[in-house]
Structure 1
């Protein structure tokens, strides 16, 4: 049995050698050109830009504007879920009044929402 497998392997090798020699003389198959590849990837890049990158940039810009507009007396919500009234505003941090005689210093970037005095707070129905 082992001899038959060896002989069949040799026969296949001898038959494949001329085919490989013929294939070596032909020029290699060319892939798609650079322009074709760019035309394929350009729509993908545009989709990623308009669906992922641009909305994230707009959201970050709105957040930066919101943080820059925080003033004393505003009610804010922090990323930790604390709701407090702004007592003091510095360049990088603010001081919140959470309750009577309870003040907390918070980094401005941790503010996720600013609720002004005029805005009603939604009810928990």
Structure 2
């Protein structure tokens, strides 16, 4: 759909006398859109995927719902068993883990351990 929209825009810009200027401006807008919207989202998605793949048993995590726990088992189907309290387990999707909250939790835990 995006390609057909771009094709229509290019055809509309071509008949006018300043067609080349319009094409340059359109190309510039597409470049700016890619630089500020698409590229950062792709980088963030790549980092989040690496974070999910690097998870190991015993890691402390926070879900997007705010549930705190530690990884007990990593299943092959993209799910985790987390222990929320001793003897209490939840099965969640890996994608339900908040990367930002988990990193903040681990930073706070590390800072508290350093103070002791």
**TM-score above 0.5:** yes
Larger Rg: 1
Moved over 6 A (4+): none
Q: Which structure's residues are more often helix, by fraction?
A: 2
Cα offsets for 1:47-89 (capped at 9, x unmatched): 1111110000000000000000000000011111111000000
State the secondary structure of the residue aligned to 1:70.
coil
Partner of 2:51: 66
Query: SS at the partner of 1:120?
Result: helix
| TM-score normalised by structure 2 residue count | 0.71
Q: Where does structure 2 lack aligned partners over 5 or more consecutive residues?
A: 1-14
CA RMSD of superposed structures (Å)? 2.5
**TM-score normalised according to structure 1 size:** 0.66
Give the number of aligned pairs.
94
Equivalent residue, structure 2, for 1:95: 81
More displaced stretch, 30-39 vs 57-66: 30-39
1:1-46 C-alpha deviation (Å, 9 max, x unpaired): xxxxxxxxxxxxxxxxxxxxxxxxxxxxx62354222111111111
Match of 1:104 in 2: 90
Q: Which stretches in structure 1 are left out of the alignment for 5+ residues?
A: 1-29
